[in-house]
A and B are shown apart, each in its own frame.
Chain A
């Protein structure tokens, strides 16, 4: 699998989403994935529990060596988001890299300041590039919908509609 030059910053929600549908390894083979020490710490805290998020976090941490882990000083703060997210936001600003998150509040408060996407981006990439079949991707979207409790939300409906057209 060829590695693209594209680099994305992923937050905890994005890593959990990709880990939950077992595509983080593939994504990290195709793209460079960057995150922060604070995100790794959050995942380690999740991993202390044996619930579904704990299990996913453990699997994500197994792929830690595939991620670029950085720290970033917060020089510009958004009051509506958590300190961990502010660090990611500052990293995206500093490195001029796109950020991927499934936190809708994070997206809402940063979308005019940085390039930001939902993790559904990777499902579409891998389907369009024929790494996954359309059916495989639709199944993964259903899994993601369950784990994220998306029900019939906007992200789910728009992505499902697109996948069905591929």
Chain B
């Protein structure tokens, strides 16, 4: 996996706490922080994207605005989901009506 250096200054107390965790769990401090950070970033990213997609589904934000905020790839994927969710409804209604006629 490609990596990039990212330096942060941490309060001494936090570093000491990390030392305790590292000794008790017998794990590398940096690796442990990296794993925890990855979990947190993943969760927060999904939460924020979910909020954004809720606004998009409700027509409160445009695709262009989403693209400006988070990039084309995410905006395109949200558009795909919205289009196919609407298409699934349309198709469902058509077949549902056909089936009803078949029974009556």
Contact = CB atoms under 8 A, between A and B. Distances in A.
B82 A154 contact: yes
A154 B96 CA distance: 22
Given A153-B50, A155-B81, A120 B88 contact: yes
A129 B96 contact: yes
A120 B103 contact: no
Interface residues of B, number: 31
Report whether over half of chain A's contact residues are helix, strand or loop; otherwise say mixed: helix
Interface string B78-93: 1011111111110111
Interface stretch (B5-13, B15-23, B54-62): B54-62
B82 A158 contact: yes
B84 A124 contact: no
A70 interface: no
Contacts of B95: 4, 6, 121, 125, 128-129
Nearest to B73: A108
Contacts, number: 103
Nearest to B92: A124
A145 to B, nearest CB: 12
A2 B87 CA distance: 24
B68 interface: no
Nearest to B95: A125
Interface stretch (A47-55, A56-64, A71-79, A111-119): A111-119
A65 interface: no
Given A129-B100, A154-B82, 4 more contacts: A30-B99, A116-B84, A128-B95, A159-B88
Interface of B: 50-51, 53-54, 56-58, 76-78, 80-89, 91-93, 95-100, 102-103
The 5 residue pairs across chains A and B that have the minimum distance between CB atoms: A128-B96, A124-B92, A129-B99, A108-B80, A121-B88
